[in-house]
Amino acid sequence: MPDVRVRPGECHVWTARAVSVSSGLVALLDAAERRVYESFLRERDRSLYLTAHALLRLVLAEALDRDPARLVFAAGPHGKPYVEDASVEFSLTHSGERVAVAVASGAPVGVDVERVPEPAAELPLPVLSPAERVVYDRVPEPERAAAFTAYWVRKEAVLKATGEGLRVDPARLTVSAPDRPAELLGWRGREKAVQPHPPVRLYDLDAGEGYRGAVALLGPAHRIVRHDGGGVLRRPRRAADGDPGASSARC
Ligand SMILES: CC(C)(COP(=O)(O)OP(=O)(O)OC[C@H]1O[C@@H](n2cnc3c(N)ncnc32)[C@H](O)[C@@H]1OP(=O)(O)O)[C@@H](O)C(=O)NCCC(=O)NCCS
């Protein structure tokens, strides 16, 4: 019996900090993942990748009642991964020292977490739409990096849900202001909002201090159920006995 049931209308999200590369989780990776893992020169990049992919395997294995090491992934035309022989919808993200995995049933999902850059960092402001830029320009200087990151994760979550990723210019999308509830307000060129996808639902995701996160779902409104991914990573082979780390809330 799986630990976590992802029911229709629910989106489960696990967040975790990067774990040590000596954690033994490497055994869960397949040959392709191991090649990517070993290609990273810096240990922190290896550990972030390992954490994300091990967590993804563990939570999908729980949801599908499978062996985590035997899940076979493939990628869509623009790189969105899927499980070859299951219809589960999922998305993963890694940034800084954080990872997040979102799993939904029946609705394509995208999750994005990004570390807020240093205040002096040069930000790629052309990804903002004209309407977003008007709001952004009014944000006090010390809050701009966080505001930009909030815009960015909302847009990227949508583009990861559709699977198009950065093949679509993020400036085409207009999302709500960082201090407003997450919402997709417009998509230049897709004003009719019917094709190629159903309604876009956006939710903010608390990814910890210094980070911003968002989850997008294509379809009806979803209940977001948060989990402690660290607990899953620490107990990779535990027997099915419920999930004490689960909490249910709009995040
Ligand atoms: C998807 C994308 C927005 C990720 O941006 P990012 O901020 O660098 O990375 P994140 O950590 O948030 O997400 C990375 C994960 O998204 C997933 N992903 C990759 N392509 C994706 C897509 N088109 N749609 C949704 N998810 C995708 C993968 O699981 C990836 O994890 P991995 O790199 O460890 O395998 C960006 O890589 C992109 O636009 N890719 C598609 C376009 C492209 O260049 N494709 C090349 C292959 S055709």
User: What digits encode the pLDDT tens for the residues 111-141?
Assistant: 999 999 998 899 999 999 999 999 999 999 9
Same domain, 136 and 174: yes
At 58-109, the pLDDT tens digits run: 999 999 999 999 999 999 999 999 999 998 999 999 999 999 999 998 899 9
Q: Is residue 245 part of a domain?
A: no
Q: Whose CA is nearest to atom 26 of ligand 1?
A: 80
Same domain, 88 and 117: no
Ligand 1 atom with least separation from CA of 79: 20
CATH code, domain carrying 135? 3.90.470.20
For the segment 39-46, the average pLDDT, to the nearest whole number, is 96
Alpha-carbon distance values, 223 to 131, 212, 247 (Å): 29, 19, 11
How many angstroms separate the alpha carbon of residue 216 from the centre of ligand 1? 15
How many angstroms separate the alpha carbon of residue 165 from the centre of ligand 1? 6
Count the domains in the chain. 2
How many angstroms separate the alpha carbon of residue 81 from the centre of ligand 1? 9
Q: Which residues line ligand 1 (CB under 6 A)?
A: 49, 52, 78-81, 91-95, 110, 112, 156, 159-160, 163, 165-167
User: pLDDT-based confidence at 3, cuts 50/70/90?
Assistant: low
Tell me what percent of the residues of the chain surpass a pLDDT of 70.
Answer: 89
Q: Whose CA is nearest to atom 22 of ligand 1?
A: 80
CA atoms of 147 and 49, how far apart (whole Å): 26
112 and 160 Cβ atoms separated by less than 8 Å: yes
Q: Is residue 62 part of a domain?
A: yes
Write out the two tokens for 196: 């190629």
Q: In DSSP terms, which residues pair with 216 in a beta bridge?
A: 110, 202
Ligand 1 atom with least separation from CA of 156: 3
Same domain, 127 and 198: yes
Structural domain including 26 reads 1-107+222-237
Same domain, 120 and 185: yes
Least confident of 118-127, 190-199, 223-232: 190-199
214 and 112 Cβ atoms separated by less than 8 Å: yes
Write out the two tokens for 139: 């944000």
At 154-168, the pLDDT tens digits run: 999 999 999 999 999
Same domain, 74 and 125: no
Going 107 to 159 to 201 to 193, the CA torsion angle's sign is negative
Identify the three-state secondary structure at position 200: strand
Say which DSSP state 217 is in: E
Return the C-alpha torsion angle 107, 108, 109, 110, nearest 10: -160
The DSSP H or E segment spanning 44 is helix 43-64
Tell me what percent of the residues of the chain surpass a pLDDT of 90.
Answer: 80
Say which DSSP state 72 is in: -
Q: Is residue 248 part of a domain?
A: no
Same domain, 103 and 226: yes
Work out the number of other CB atoms within 10 angstroms of the CB of residue 200.
22
Nearest C-alpha neighbor of 232 from the set 13, 6, 11? 13
Q: Is residue 162 part of a domain?
A: yes
Same domain, 99 and 118: no
Work out the number of other CB atoms within 10 angstroms of the CB of residue 160.
27
